[in-house]
Structure 1
Amino acid sequence: MISSSRLIARRRAIAATGAAAALALTLAACGSSSDSSSMPGMDHVGKAAAPSPSTTASMGDMPGMDHTAAGNGLSDTQDGYRLTSKDSTLPGGKQTAYRFTVTGPDGKPVTGFAVDQTKRMHFYAIRSDLTGFQHVHPTMAADGTWSADLASLVPGSWRMFTSFTPGSGAGMGKDFVLSRTVTVPGQATRTSLPAAAGSTEADGYTVTVQGELMAGMAHPLTVSIAKGGKPVTDLQPYLDTYAHLTAFHEGDAAFAHLHPTTKVNGDHGGPDLSFHAELPSAGNWRLFLQFQTGGKLHRAALTLRVG
């Protein structure tokens, strides 16, 4: 026979064990819930922990201090890789250079990069109102310092994006998009974003975009190019494709690169080009399409509404 005191002690132990198991299940459920909050279609860039509102507010107003965003190119760090630069301001009204370095998880400058679309580094500059788009390919010095030569910048806040793939180390084979902000001194005049439209004109070409996109979902997007009312069939390869398409989100300038799926076959591209589109956020996106004919690079821009 078990004494009453020993029986009570045993019951209390069983109850404690049950409570611990329930707590473990609750914590596990919380962990799986946080994992499900990540946005679909963001596998091209890494994820980071979301900052507290106070952190966002304190760092968002400082040029170059961009540790607050995740999964959209708006952070200067990802998986131990960091974009660093001494340039927090750049002069306006003339050609200038933005100098930067990418450091790895060991804190040392990265000098080995894989080739992506014929380049080891893609660099983009965009003003906060999504004007002034520039896509250039910087050069790297032996010490890992990159220099991006930029055309004249107008006053305002600009975001500088770097897109690269490490050729070795912990991030080997993974795509990274990191960015920092700079200020161009002077009287800044904000330009309103053009309304969403299905087509636009550039250098005598008509560019039409077809596709109903929903945020966080993969969709096909078709770009058609015509000139003088006739389909264009003489597109030349540019960066190993017939067109390069980049998008920026209104309000925060979040970055997205839309990947082409049309195969390249000499100088006979067009008129229809297919893209794999995954835009993570609803709202207006400003699309910049670059394509080449007769050895000349053209650029078309239009606003696309994502539901």
Structure 2
Amino acid sequence: MSTSSRPTVRRRPLAAAGTAAALALALAACGSSNNDSSSMPGMDHGAKSSASAKASPSMGDMPGMDHMAAGNGLSDTKDGYRLTGVGATLAAGKAAAYRFTVTGPDGKPVTDFAVDQTERMHFYAIRSDLTGFQHIHPTMANDGTWRANLSSLASGSWRMFTSFTPDSGAGKGTAFVLSRTVTVPGIETKTALPAAAKSAEVDGYAVTVKGEPMAGMAHPMTVTVTKGGKPVTDLQPYLDTYAHLTAFHEGDIAFAHLHPSTEVKGDHGGPELSFNAELPTSGNWRLFLQFQTGGKLHTAALTLKVG
């Protein structure tokens, strides 16, 4: 994939699905990049580095805010853009590569993508019971075929999300989230969603969320990171921010995405991160928060109940 520099995507005010993300964001946590297991059964930290070109760190209109995409990501088509996956099944219990292509309104593979948070494509895999979360940065071949290298998958139904912004054509500058389902054969053992909680632990770190979000309404939220009861102030930039947040709605697995509004100033972020959280739908959301310290990526997960 070309490593030529491209403009970084500008963030927009959250739209419905994106806003949902906001909420989700507030707490999500993708696990560590060293393939250590997360606190939730089957969860991987799938943030693998991509061979795709990186952009120099720069924020959008509001520090840390994502370029939000309208919708909840539960369709494989939008505004003429289509996500096509190669195969509908993946093997259980071992690493697997998921290949896919995004075609534009002209029916041709899209190969020109804007850089969003240092990457041209963000890929998420989530099991139907909201376990097994992986966040990956896939690589693209010259013909527009992407390859996402997934860690071991448990049997069951999975949804594969792609988040991208075309850098040319009819959809230039528009953020899209498209997804498809994939089946992993075998005996499916579902895990009950953990009860709603305001805090979670991962790799010795404690993540605490403050705020009472209501469906369809924007609410300020903060996430505080501590370790051994002491404030953590050495958060390192990860994807142009101090924390990457995603959320998925229990039942339909709707997607939401947002980032802290805290300005990035070197390798000393924390302990408190601010968010403008808005989730469009009531119910339980599983939040995944990814943050980095000492060059290691940590993923924390918790359940947030939205009224």
Instruction: Name the TM-score, length of structure 1 as normaliser.
Output: 0.78
Q: Indicate the SS of the match to 2:169.
A: coil
- The whole-number CA distance in structure 1 between the counterparts of 2:100 and 2:262 is 33
Aligned: 1:146 with 2:146: yes
Residue 44 of structure 1: how far off its partner (Å)? 3.9
2:116 partner letter: D
1:44/1:176 contact within 8 Å kept: no
1:258 partner letter: L
- The whole-number CA distance in structure 1 between the counterparts of 2:124 and 2:278 is 19
Q: What residue number does 1:184 align with? A: 184
- The whole-number CA distance in structure 1 between the counterparts of 2:281 and 2:306 is 7
Q: What residue number does 2:204 align with? A: 204
Residue 197 of structure 1: how far off its partner (Å)? 0.3
Residue 230 of structure 1: how far off its partner (Å)? 0.2
- The whole-number CA distance in structure 1 between the counterparts of 2:216 and 2:90 is 35
Which structure 1 residue ranges, 5 or more long, are not aligned? 1-39, 46-69
Residue 43 of structure 1: how far off its partner (Å)? 6.6
- The whole-number CA distance in structure 2 between the counterparts of 1:43 and 1:255 is 7
- The whole-number CA distance in structure 1 between the counterparts of 2:216 and 2:258 is 13
Residue 151 of structure 1: how far off its partner (Å)? 0.1
Residue 287 of structure 1: how far off its partner (Å)? 0.2
1:81 partner letter: Y
- The whole-number CA distance in structure 1 between the counterparts of 2:128 and 2:148 is 19
Q: Indicate the SS of the match to 1:115.
A: coil
Alignment equivalent of 2:16, drawn from 23, 34, 42 = 42
1:244 partner letter: H
CA RMSD of aligned residues (A): 1.3
- The whole-number CA distance in structure 2 between the counterparts of 1:132 and 1:254 is 16
- The whole-number CA distance in structure 2 between the counterparts of 1:276 and 1:98 is 33
Residue 41 of structure 1: how far off its partner (Å)? 4.1
- The whole-number CA distance in structure 2 between the counterparts of 1:306 and 1:284 is 6
- What is the 5 A alignment of 1:49-64? none
Aligned residues: 244
Percentage of pairs with the same residue: 79
1:292 partner letter: Q
Q: What residue number does 1:169 align with? A: 169
Bigger mean CA deviation after superposition, 74-83 or 271-280:
271-280
Bigger mean CA deviation after superposition, 138-147 or 85-94:
85-94
- The whole-number CA distance in structure 2 between the counterparts of 1:199 and 1:299 is 13
Which one has the bigger helix percentage?
1
Residue 259 of structure 1: how far off its partner (Å)? 2.6
Q: Indicate the SS of the match to 1:286.
A: strand
Which structure 2 residue ranges, 5 or more long, are not aligned? 1-13, 20-69
1:156/1:188 contact within 8 Å kept: yes
Q: What residue number does 1:10 align with? A: none
- The whole-number CA distance in structure 2 between the counterparts of 1:266 and 1:290 is 17
Q: What residue number does 2:105 align with? A: 105
- What is the 5 A alignment of 1:218-229? 218-229=218-229
Q: What residue number does 2:300 align with? A: 300
1:74 partner letter: L
Aligned: 1:291 with 2:291: yes
User: C-alpha deviations, 1:21-64, integer Å up to 9, x for none?
Assistant: xxxxxxxxxxxxxxxxxxx941749xxxxxxxxxxxxxxxxxxx
User: C-alpha deviations, 1:208-236, integer Å up to 9, x for none?
Assistant: 01111111112222110000000000000
Q: Indicate the SS of the match to 1:166.
A: coil
User: C-alpha deviations, 1:167-209, integer Å up to 9, x for none?
Assistant: 0111111110000000000000010000000001100000001
- The whole-number CA distance in structure 2 between the counterparts of 1:89 and 1:41 is 32
* Structure of larger gyration radius: 1
- The whole-number CA distance in structure 2 between the counterparts of 1:220 and 1:118 is 26
- The whole-number CA distance in structure 1 between the counterparts of 2:178 and 2:225 is 31
Q: What residue number does 2:270 align with? A: 270
User: C-alpha deviations, 1:102-124, integer Å up to 9, x for none?
Assistant: 00000000000000000000000
1:265 partner letter: K
